[in-house]
Amino acid sequence: MEVLVPKFQSLKFPSPICCCSITTWNSSYLNFGFRRLSSLSVSAASKVNEAVVESVIASPSLGHSTRPHFPILHQEVNGSKLVYLDNAATSQKPTAVLKALQNYYEAYNSNVHRGIHFLSAKATDEYESARRKVATFINASDSREIIFTRNATEAINLVAYSWGLSNLKSGDEIIVTVAEHHSAIVPWQLVAQKVGAVLKFVTLNQDEVPDLDNLKEVLSRKTKLVVVHHVSNVLASVLPIREITQWAHDVGAKVLVDACQSVPHMIVDVQNLNVDFLVASSHKMCGPTGIGFLYGKIDILSSMPPFLGGGEMISDVYLDHSTYAEPPSRFEAGTPAIGEAIGLGAAIDYLSGIGMQTIHDYEVELGRYLYERLLSIPNIRIYGPAPSEEVQRAALCSFNVENVHPTDLATFLDQQLSDQVTIVLNRSIAT
């Protein structure tokens, strides 16, 4: 049996495969060609598809009860019901979020913080209400600790250029794990190059989780910042942020947490974790694209200079100098993404209505089931820690099939089996 499928040149870096729409860590390295996929490869692909589909069929009632809330999932693709498994890249949006966006543009579209008329007052109230919802969702002590940004990447860059350039000097050390997203590495490379700071990387242990013993070894009085994920979008590792924060604070370092993969999937309490900075993105938590947020302790934010200059972030402007507003306005120059912030607020209402503990428990069950089913297939290599009573694993799964290129398998599953295939599989409530 032979099936013609596209062949893509190997990625610059090895990339594990999983299931959902065709994307890669570094799509700029792809070149299109063709080759024939052997019957062995087809068999492996079919078994992978069976495991994925079985995990959907076996889903408890929460998945079935929430699926109708997502209009995009009502369609068929290639003659079959759409199964979307690309939530690690972006989540789909429930009707409540779509209606909130529509209502803003239809009923009270206006700028915020700039007018006293009805529409402006309404828009401002809803915009600030969304900020309060974010603060409550992650248990921030004050809504002023929430800065709206375009996405988590911009939030990290805000910290890098505002806090980093003001507080780091030659010889200071920034600790980052090798499992971080590029957006949590590159900004600190740029800052380190500007100020002469040193980046130190934490390696992975035998379970393919950032090595916490190695982290403790590299921590020193030279360490000024630890940048770490809460949940890895590739390895599914879940790190003990509270302990890491304590170790960092013991040597006088600050902690920045990438919580993009944890905030939508579990209870996140920034006061309990005691982190200094935390970032997340709306589009991964059933909200609109184009909006994310930075959480920062208010005393730290108040000491930081502006990131961008413009309207809203100023207190007074003179010809020879300006004074700046207090946070959060200081870091939100120009007209913000008003509708998107309101949509994020609606997404938080939606998730909160279900309950984050309910979502987390459901996803853990699905994730464990999918892991076990994939593990039963010959020639499958699963990345990250094995779930156990002692080891927590998030509900996503990255894997390779022996002798099958990731893009070949992804293309086969997408085109032949009507599933959405990508490099990272993340099982969320709406699938």
- Binning pLDDT at 50, 70 and 90, where does residue 156 land? very high
> What is d(CA 12, CA 252) in angstroms, rounded to the nearest whole number?
38
pLDDT of residue 196: 98
Instruction: Look at 62 and 247; give whichever has higher pLDDT.
Output: 247
Q: Mean pLDDT, to the nearest integer, of 20-44?
A: 31
Instruction: Look at 63 and 25; give whichever has higher pLDDT.
Output: 63
Write out pLDDT tens, residues 404-414: 999 998 888 88
For residue 140, what are its two tokens?
Answer: 């921030």
Which residues are CB-neighbours of 206 under 8 A, at least 6 positions away? none
- Binning pLDDT at 50, 70 and 90, where does residue 416 land? low
pLDDT of residue 430: 41
Q: Does the pLDDT of residue 159 top 60, yes or no?
A: yes
Q: What is the CATH architecture of 95-352?
A: 3-Layer(aba) Sandwich (3.40)
Taking Cα atoms as reference points, which of 360, 365, 336, 351 lies closest to residue 93? 351
Q: Mean pLDDT, to the nearest integer, of 304-321?
A: 88
Share of the chain above pLDDT 70, in %: 82
What stretch of H or E contains 281?
strand 277-281
> Are 70 and 430 within 8 A, CB to CB?
yes
| Site of tokens 């000491």 | 303
pLDDT of residue 12: 33
Rounded to two decimals, what is the model's pTM? 0.84
Q: Mean pLDDT, to the nearest integer, of 44-60?
A: 45
Q: Report helix, strand and coil shares of the chain as percent, to nearest 5.
A: 40, 20, 40
Taking Cα atoms as reference points, which of 10, 6, 16 lies closest to residue 234? 16
Which residues are CB-neighbours of 256 under 8 A, at least 6 positions away? 156, 159, 184, 225, 226, 227, 228, 275, 276, 277, 278, 279
pLDDT of residue 312: 84
Q: Mean pLDDT, to the nearest integer, of 179-206?
A: 97
pLDDT of residue 32: 24
- My answer on whether omega of the bond before 328 falls inside 30° of 0, hence cis, is yes
> Which residue intervals of the chain bear CATH 3.40.640.10?
95-352
| Domain range 63-90+355-424, CATH class | alpha beta
Write out pLDDT tens, residues 287-310: 999 999 999 999 999 999 999 998
Q: Mean pLDDT, to the nearest integer, of 272-298?
A: 99
pLDDT of residue 37: 33
> Which residue intervals of the chain bear CATH 3.90.1150.10?
63-90+355-424
- Binning pLDDT at 50, 70 and 90, where does residue 425 land? very low
Taking Cα atoms as reference points, which of 422, 359, 368 lies closest to residue 86? 422
The one-letter amino acid at 186: V
> What is d(CA 300, CA 254) in angstroms, rounded to the nearest whole number?
10
Q: Mean pLDDT, to the nearest integer, of 353-374?
A: 94
What stretch of H or E contains 130?
helix 118-137
- Binning pLDDT at 50, 70 and 90, where does residue 417 land? low
Write out pLDDT tens, residues 72-128: 999 988 788 888 888 889 999 999 999 999 999 999 999 999 999 999 999 999 999
CA distances from 93 to 158, 162, 348 (A): 27, 32, 12
Taking Cα atoms as reference points, which of 251, 297, 299 lies closest to residue 278? 297
Q: From the CB of residue 76, how many other CB atoms can be counted at a distance below 10 Å? A: 9
Please, what is the average pLDDT of the chain? 85
Cβ burial of 103 (10 Å; 0-12, 13-18, 19+) is middle
Q: Does the pLDDT of residue 171 top 70, yes or no?
A: yes
- Binning pLDDT at 50, 70 and 90, where does residue 173 land? very high
Write out pLDDT tens, residues 12-26: 323 333 333 322 223
Q: Does the pLDDT of residue 356 top 50, yes or no?
A: yes
> What is d(CA 20, CA 282) in angstroms, rounded to the nearest whole number?
20
Taking Cα atoms as reference points, which of 369, 365, 368 lies closest to residue 387? 368
What stretch of H or E contains 323?
strand 322-324
- Binning pLDDT at 50, 70 and 90, where does residue 314 land? confident
pLDDT of residue 253: 99
3-state SS class at 49: helix
- Binning pLDDT at 50, 70 and 90, where does residue 38 land? very low
> What is d(CA 431, CA 87) in angstroms, rounded to the nearest whole number?
9
